[in-house]
Amino acid sequence: MNNDYSDKNPALTALYVEHIEVLAARHDHALEQAGASHAVIFSGNPRIAFLDDYQMPFKPNPHFVNWAPLTQLPFSYIVYTPGEMPVLIYFQPHDYWHVVPGAPDGYWSSQFDIRIVHTLDEVAKHLPADREKCIVIGEISDASLTFGIERVNPTTAINILHYARGMKTQYELANMRLASYRGATGHVAAEAAFRDGLSEFEIHRAYCKAVSHTDAELPYGNIIGLNEHGAVLHYTDLDRQVPTELRSFLIDAGAQVHGYASDITRTHSFGDQRFQDLIDRMDSMEQEIVSQVQVGVDYRDLHIGTHKLLADVLVDAELAHGDPDTLLETGVTSAFFPHGLGHLLGIQVHDVGGFMENESGTTIDPPSGHPFLRLTRILQEDMVLTIEPGLYVIDMLLENLRGTSAENHVNWSTVDWLRPFGGIRIEDNVRVLANGRENLTRDALAKATE
């Protein structure tokens, strides 16, 4: 597939038709189990800032985006009735204060019976008359937006849809490959800006320019940390000043195409060979974990296995000493690596369904002592997930080891050496294949650096 991000990408047309067929089957099942006849999917509405008339950036209902790549279409609805063409109630207000949505056109438009409305009062006549047989899916901040439909986000239907969304269609995968390439071009530009000695804010601007996104269009706020800032897991402050000395750069940034996201992290050294060697060691470890991704693997086992691999890295780097089981059991590895190994990825960066054992909504808890793991499922074909091990000097966590049996397993002088570099995180987006895996990130970066 070419790198056409437009709404008229011909390569997506056939895949989209198949995608709609899959969605229809999923919703047929969800409606049957919920005892309903129609699904009314609300796109969402803008939020107004407190004590102001300013609209915050619009974030659409992911269920709506799953049907149509319309990420900036508030106050719109999709009505799905089994056996019928879905209806798109396309809200196009008469407004001279803002740019209104243009004519509905693109690779997706032929799959809908499109009804353009200019006021919310017009919506009701396009909804099913038998409101008691409808369910609404979406965030409803005002009861009037349900137009008399009483069942909102029924658990039975939502569980079915969220569980199924863990497995991506070929259309979704095509968009995620595009999003990966788009993100990869941003990472190449950001590293160049770092090598040129620019500030965090300027690196962020270089990234946004390369991916052609405003801040609001990014799938999540860019994490761009120089030096010690790389130890702050969600560092988004974007310092305007260049540090006196540049040592390291951690960037966690993605991009989106037609509502589907990429989520990529890399860490770079500014000439320090010892830190570069540690980055290379972490990169090798991350690829070893990726090589274990396959159908039937329990993601919790991957997470625990990562801690054991990290224990070897800590020993090799002289940050700690002891056998892997001891470093894991005493909390040493968790102090250096406190977050989860990864999560599902799709329309949402932390996509839904990560804890679900089945479509009934039974959940699987994270392993004891690892509360921040966002994915606990058994891996299935066409899941897309992240693999993102890390190693950081986070003083508030390391200090918790003082006075415990773990304290003597830490080489504190080496910790002092690493502290000015912040930390290391390497993150790839990986698709589970029937036999093996597809690394969307590595493929995209290879293409972006050709």
242 shares a domain with 99 = no
**At a CB cut-off of 8 Å and minimum separation 6, what does 413 contact?**
none
Indicate if 73 and 179 belong to the same structural domain. Answer: no
Three-point CA angle 265, 219, 396, nearest 5°:
50
Band (404; pLDDT cuts 50, 70, 90): very high
Model confidence at 34, pLDDT cuts 50, 70, 90, reads very high
Is 365 found in the same domain as 242? yes
Mean pLDDT of 10-32: 96
Residue 13 parent element (H or E): helix 13-34
pLDDT of residue 6: 84
Final residue before a domain boundary, out of 99, 129, 164? 164
- Average pLDDT for residues 426-437, to the nearest whole number? 97
Number of domains within the chain: 2
Task: Spell out the alpha helix ranges (H) of 291-433.
Answer: 299-316, 324-329, 332-336, 395-398, 412-418
Q: Check whether 2 has a pLDDT greater than 80.
A: no
Are 224 and 180 contained in the same domain?
yes
- Same domain for 152 and 198: no
If you average pLDDT over residues 181-189, what whole number do you get? 98
263 and 314, same domain (yes or no): yes
151 with 58, same domain: the answer is yes
The token pair at 182 is 């788009």
What is the domain extent for residue 244?
Answer: 170-448
The residue behind tokens 């030096």 is 227
Residue 99 pLDDT > 90, yes or no? no
CATH code for position 217? 3.90.230.10
- The pTM assigned to this predicted structure is 0.97
Average pLDDT score over residue span 189-194:
98
How many residues are recorded in the chain? 450
* Structure confidence by residue, pLDDT tens digits, 300-321: 999 999 999 999 999 999 999 9
Q: Are residues 342 and 236 in the same domain?
A: yes
The two tokens of residue 217 are 């269009």
pLDDT beyond 90 at 1: no
Q: How confident is the model at residue 293 (pLDDT cuts 50, 70, 90)?
A: very high
| Mean local confidence (pLDDT), 54-75 | 96
- Contact of 136 with 40, CB cutoff 8 Å: yes
Q: Give yes or no: residues 176 and 154 share one domain.
A: no
| Mean pLDDT, the chain, integer | 97
Burial class of 433 by CB neighbour count within 10 A (0 to 12, 13 to 18, 19+): middle
